[in-house]
Chain A
């Protein structure tokens, strides 16, 4: 199995070249632009991107993504467990297929779907007596994002839950383990890498979402993607392009930090699988 021969990397060359072109070049352009103000090297964009409304938006995005990732991961895992352990194969197939579709349901259609259901003049909001404006808040956006985050989590967790062999549970029971012991010492350690991966995935998709929030809450919930769009395009602001690049760089750093937390944890927990 040891293929660390001298020419092994050659096969990956086309892929590496592709990455260098498609990710590398834009990344360099992004960094170069972020550190340029008025045609000169400068830290002005970066410092401005970490102040005032921009900082508020960055924190708002992190908070929203974290809440969505944690709630989505917990709810998605429970749903996946319920489906996987169900004896109805029909239910299982239906939920997994629906999850595949819903996990990709986003953008303006998603926003309008919620607006039409729970908005100020939504079909359901009148029936349940929802106070006006309650959808267009931080928690309204969380609920909307969960609509695609939970199915995404189900897709991530279902194969992992399938991997839990019934024999493990029987073996644990034979050795006098309670259900709690089984989950604490057997199942959860095995599931942790998938769950962590799911949390990171959910965080990333909520962190980068734009169109839904733009159509649904406008600037009522400050989000960094909305700030980037305002700075980059529109009929109003001129000359804020490099601040948009600096904000994008901030986003890359946040995503990097999340990965920096995720990778060591994943390494630790994946030991159980070997």
Chain B
């Protein structure tokens, strides 16, 4: 709740110990699923392997449960997605540690291998999806809409597939700030003294890292060069504008983080929440630094509920699931194809903060290099 998707290491560690102790019982679900006369759910690479979506639903219902991790209910509308999935298929979702980070998810897959409480599906930062696939942790699976997903947003065999994302944006309380900043250059203005915050620490939180990357693009950097972004935040700090407090709904409500750099779907989701509390939370995509990033889905290779895991993927990439992401102000990966075939919920799409131009993406090598640079350079720039 306080640190979305990047919580204290201690909690995750304690959790691992506890669940390791509780999960000692062998995965009975898994053995029944693979020994049944039907297709082997654990190795199925598409709904066709089950004999169609109906058969997949049947197999998933037989398993009855789905174990998910790191899905905060207020993040990209996951709360409603989980509810709708449960209601539609009668499969109970056990949602564990909603605020866990990508690193915790990978840890959970590794440390609970073969246990009934291992996560079935994962929602990962893209570089974690790529490294996890490299380590052989995921099962290849192509959802029915796989072909419609743009190239570069999926692994060719379906080990991971991007599903939703957003732009780095600047949220701002228009009741307290006379003119909301619309660019990174604006943030340096003296009127924003002590007001510019982020959703966490860039060496830890994905959204804050993206904020630095976007600032780099705004200041003459590129996907290969994040240094201007680090320099920008140093300048912001020296100007007295940088506010190190980690943004949460509570700090926004209190007026402590009146300007916050975060994913546009987080900032946009705060708006109605804050309106109820008398704040006017405005969201702008910075005009000088547009950075778009998606999160990826993957299936645990040793998922205790392999059929339910695959059905969950089918649901997320269905028009219904994708529109639910859209309802949470996240941009679903199928948005372009759904716009052309008319399955998109237009009212929801119009509520998204507007952006001009099409997004471009860094390669995973570029992202890794930027992260290494940030790990070494961020503290030196910002501390003292």
On A, residues with C-beta under 8 Å from B are: 52-53, 56-57, 60, 108, 112, 115-116, 119-122, 132-133, 136, 210-211, 214-222, 226-230, 232-240, 244
- Interface centre among B206, B246, B379, by most chain A C-beta atoms within 10 angstroms, is B379
Q: Is the CB–CB distance between B127 and A230 below 8 Å?
A: no
A-B pairs, top 7 by smallest CB distance, nearest first, are A132-B194, A235-B206, A234-B204, A218-B244, A230-B203, A53-B379, A121-B255
Kindly identify which residue among B5, B204, B378 contacts A229, using a CB–CB cutoff of 8 Å: B204
Q: Is the CB–CB distance between A233 and B128 below 8 Å?
A: no
Return A24 CB to nearest CB of chain B, in Å: 15
Q: Is the CB–CB distance between B3 and A236 below 8 Å?
A: no
CB contact under 8 A between A218 and B245, given known A229-B204, A230-B203, A238-B127: yes
Tell me the total A-B contact number using a CB cutoff of 8 A: 146
Return B163 CB to nearest CB of chain A, in Å: 15
Q: Is the CB–CB distance between A112 and B5 below 8 Å?
A: no
Which A residues lie within 8 Å of B194 (CB)?
120, 132-133
Return B366 CB to nearest CB of chain A, in Å: 14
- Complex Cα distance, B257 from A122, in Å, reads 11
Q: Is the CB–CB distance between B6 and A234 below 8 Å?
A: yes
- Interface membership of chain B positions 349-384, coded 1 if the CB is closer than 8 angstroms to chain A and 0 otherwise: 000000000000000000010010011111110111
- Interface centre among A211, A216, A220, by most chain B C-beta atoms within 10 angstroms, is A220
Return A141 CB to nearest CB of chain B, in Å: 11
Q: Is the CB–CB distance between B8 and A219 below 8 Å?
A: no
Kindly identify which residue among A116, A215, A218 contacts B2, using a CB–CB cutoff of 8 Å: A215
Kindly identify which residue among A56, A120, A233, A239 contacts B383, using a CB–CB cutoff of 8 Å: A56
Which B residues lie within 8 Å of A218 (CB)?
198, 200-201, 244-246, 382
- Complex Cα distance, B255 from A116, in Å, reads 9
Which A residues lie within 8 Å of B128 (CB)?
235, 238
Kindly identify which residue among A119, A132, A217 contacts B193, using a CB–CB cutoff of 8 Å: A132
B212 nearest CB neighbor, chain A only: A236
- Complex Cα distance, B255 from A117, in Å, reads 12
Kindly identify which residue among B131, B198, B205 contacts A234, using a CB–CB cutoff of 8 Å: B205
CB contact under 8 A between A119 and B245, given known A56-B383, A214-B201, A219-B382: yes
Which A residues lie within 8 Å of B250 (CB)?
112
- Interface membership of chain B positions 235-254, coded 1 if the CB is closer than 8 angstroms to chain A and 0 otherwise: 00100101111100011001
Of the listed stretches B83-91, B99-107, B272-280, B337-345, chain A binds B99-107
Which A residues lie within 8 Å of B2 (CB)?
108, 215
B152 near A: Cβ within 8 Å?
no
Contacts A53-B378, A229-B9 given; 7 further ones with Cβ under 8 A?
A53-B379, A112-B250, A219-B379, A220-B244, A220-B384, A226-B201, A235-B128
Q: Is the CB–CB distance between B205 and A214 below 8 Å?
A: no
A221 nearest CB neighbor, chain B only: B383
CB contact under 8 A between A235 and B243, given known A115-B256, A119-B256: no
Kindly identify which residue among B6, B258, B374 contacts A235, using a CB–CB cutoff of 8 Å: B6
Which A residues lie within 8 Å of B256 (CB)?
115-116, 119-122
Q: Is the CB–CB distance between A233 and B203 below 8 Å?
A: no
Q: Is the CB–CB distance between A214 and B258 below 8 Å?
A: no
- Interface centre among A108, A215, A218, A234, by most chain B C-beta atoms within 10 angstroms, is A234
Q: Is the CB–CB distance between B201 and A230 below 8 Å?
A: yes
Return A193 CB to nearest CB of chain B, in Å: 31
B12 near A: Cβ within 8 Å?
yes
CB contact under 8 A between A53 and B376, given known A233-B204, A236-B125: yes
Q: Is the CB–CB distance between A230 and B204 below 8 Å?
A: yes
B195 near A: Cβ within 8 Å?
yes
Q: Is the CB–CB distance between B8 and A56 below 8 Å?
A: no
Which A residues lie within 8 Å of B10 (CB)?
210
B61 near A: Cβ within 8 Å?
no
Which B residues lie within 8 Å of A57 (CB)?
379
Which B residues lie within 8 Å of A237 (CB)?
103, 203-204, 371, 375
Which A residues lie within 8 Å of B245 (CB)?
115, 119-120, 136, 215-216, 218
B7 near A: Cβ within 8 Å?
yes
8 A-B residue pairs with Cβ-Cβ distance under 8 Å, sorted by A, are A112-B251, A119-B256, A120-B194, A121-B256, A233-B7, A233-B100, A233-B101, A234-B205
- Complex Cα distance, B243 from A219, in Å, reads 11
B306 near A: Cβ within 8 Å?
no
B328 near A: Cβ within 8 Å?
no
Q: Is the CB–CB distance between A235 and B101 below 8 Å?
A: yes
CB contact under 8 A between A136 and B258, given known A234-B204, A236-B371: no
- Complex Cα distance, B367 from A237, in Å, reads 10
Q: Is the CB–CB distance between A56 and B6 below 8 Å?
A: no
Which A residues lie within 8 Å of B195 (CB)?
120
Which A residues lie within 8 Å of B246 (CB)?
214-215, 218
- Interface centre among A115, A120, A229, A236, by most chain B C-beta atoms within 10 angstroms, is A236
CB contact under 8 A between A238 and B380, given known A210-B8, A215-B2, A233-B12: no
